[in-house]
Structure 1
Amino acid sequence: MKTGSVNKVIIALAVVVASLLAVKLLLVDLQPSEESSQGQLLKNTRQYSQIPDFEAIADVAEKKKAFFDFLRPAVQHHNNIIAEERKFLLASLQHLVDGEVLSEAEQFRIQQLASKYQYSMRSVTVNNLNQLLRRVDIIPEDLVLIQAANETGWGSSRFAKEGLNFFGQWCFRKGCGLVPQSRSEGMSHEVAVFNSVDDSVGSYMRNLNSNAAYSLLRSIRADLRAQGEPIRADKLVYGLLNYSERQEAYIEELLDMLRHNNQFLVENYEQGSAV
């Protein structure tokens, strides 16, 4: 091959290599850096997309309906789980009353439920099952929805938007959640962050059914069961005295919200149906 031809080939190859390098550099500039990607994650863009922009709904009635309709499926889902757990425990209790021996699988599941609801049970007895059943019971749907509305300002709070936390639940490990802007000096709690609205509702229900602070709520509910009366929100609400530092004022506020939003709490409510 002549020298001129060789030079032309070398020049052509050099042009190709230079072009490839230029394209690669351009792609690197367009690709978001690891630091910027982390910044996007910290904004919880995935979580923001999971809840509607309730603040953008100008009509008050429409906003309330949208808020309740959004949360209702998760509330029903967890109440259904609790109802099935309760049904199982009642069947096991009946087995013991009838003098039957519980299977290993049955005893294992009972112990699992005792752990879930933070009830210490060394052995499965009639008394222990009755005590566990005080914890494994539903929370009235309207009580859950009203408390969520109260705690989040109808879904407008920072904690609902960024942390999918609809009930103001705290966590106590540094970095576990969102730091409240109004946190008092010397306090170390954070507001918990959840992966989903469903997780937030489930955690809230377990809290009411297991935390010692809400033993009064469980006692009221057990008394209603014993009297054959329905589990009503306006009865159980008094068991939330320790949910807020405002105590009695908080209870009165929830009762007032229950009264004034009764029509919106009904599933399949239509705006034109209100009297």
Structure 2
Amino acid sequence: MRPLAGVIVALGLVALGILWIETQVDEKRPEVARLPIQPNTAVSALPDFAAIADVREKKRAFFGFLRPTVEQVNLKINGQRQFLLQLKQRLDQGLTISGPQAAKAERIAQQYGYELRQISSETLAPLLVRVDTIPVEMVLVQAANETGWGSSRFARDGLNFFGQWCFKAGCGLVPQGRDDGRNHEVAKFDTVEASVSSYLKNLNTNPAYQDLRAIRSELRGARMEVTAASLIPGLIRYSERKEAYVDELLNMLETNRRYM
């Protein structure tokens, strides 16, 4: 039988060993850079991502810069969604809703390009397909893809992280390689929040991304997690490259999870 003193010493050595192992693991675990940037960041305050020589540090900095704004915009969308879900639950139970509640629902519907002629459980269901969040990881990898990790001219000069177009003269930045006869520009935004909000609204309202919304709605109905990997295939019409674009985003998602 081992003496008590020997047991204590042995336990102490084991604890030190575990502590040393945890320290080594922590040192190898990458940390996501959290830059002190607010959602209303102006162009002048955009970090110079192109100047970051270390690729891993650049990725952490880019994701860390954009993530807080994506989370904030998603939080607003989720607030709208929860309000509509509560309204639908009341109507399912045969309860009435107030005038202010109805007015708020109509304002949300208008924001998402949905005509809400009357408010019922049946009319709220299609609206809820639109009023929903997008996985942060999907937003981040698409922004990285579209901007070359924040170094593109459109990101630097227009806070456009998603290659969004506009069609009114002077609304944005004219692409250098624009074909003759084309009149589109790459939209310019005043803040990072405006850029992210416009992108999420595009995914939630544009007919081109109806499949994405259908996938998300089916997952919600099955009480399954809505992940970046599950929704990225719904971006097949975001680029003329179609399947190749989707495959590239899925590959970026897998190879860059450690930096998010």
Q: TM-score range by the shorter chain?
A: 0.7 to 0.9
1:252 lines up with 2:211 in the alignment: no
Unpaired runs of 5+ residues, structure 2, are: 1-40
Equivalent position amino acid for 2:59 in 1: K
Match of 1:178? 173
- Distance in 2, matches of 1:220 and 1:127, equals 20
- Distance in 2, matches of 1:186 and 1:76, equals 39
Deviations 1:112-170 (A, max 9, x none): 11011111111111111010000111100000000000000000100000001000101
Question: Quick one: which of 70, 87, 92 aligns to 1:97?
Answer: 92
Superposition map of 1:256-275 within 5 A: 256-265=251-260
How many percent identity over aligned positions?
Answer: 53
- Distance in 2, matches of 1:111 and 1:137, equals 16
- Distance in 1, matches of 2:125 and 2:256, equals 35
1:196 lines up with 2:191 in the alignment: yes
| Matched position secondary structure for 2:186 | strand
- Distance in 2, matches of 1:221 and 1:176, equals 32
How far the C-alpha of 1:260 sits from its partner, in A, is: 0.5
How far the C-alpha of 1:53 sits from its partner, in A, is: 0.4
Deviations 1:83-109 (A, max 9, x none): 111110000001111111211101101
Equivalent position amino acid for 1:183 in 2: R
Match of 2:182? 187
- Distance in 1, matches of 2:131 and 2:252, equals 26
CA contact (8 A) 1:47 1:162 kept: no
- Distance in 2, matches of 1:77 and 1:258, equals 21
Equivalent pairs, count: 220
Match of 2:79? 84
Equivalent position amino acid for 2:46 in 1: I
Match of 1:15? none
Match of 2:44? 49
Equivalent position amino acid for 2:176 in 1: Q
Instruction: Calculate the TM-score normalised by the size of structure 1.
Output: 0.79
How far the C-alpha of 1:47 sits from its partner, in A, is: 4.2
How far the C-alpha of 1:212 sits from its partner, in A, is: 0.7
User: Which protein is bigger by CA-based radius of gyration?
Assistant: 1
| Matched position secondary structure for 1:243 | coil
Distance 1:48 1:97, change over 3 A: closer
1:67 lines up with 2:59 in the alignment: no
- Distance in 2, matches of 1:259 and 1:186, equals 39
Unpaired runs of 5+ residues, structure 1, are: 1-45, 266-275
Equivalent position amino acid for 1:217 in 2: L
1:211 lines up with 2:206 in the alignment: yes
CA contact (8 A) 2:130 2:205 kept: yes
How far the C-alpha of 1:48 sits from its partner, in A, is: 3.7
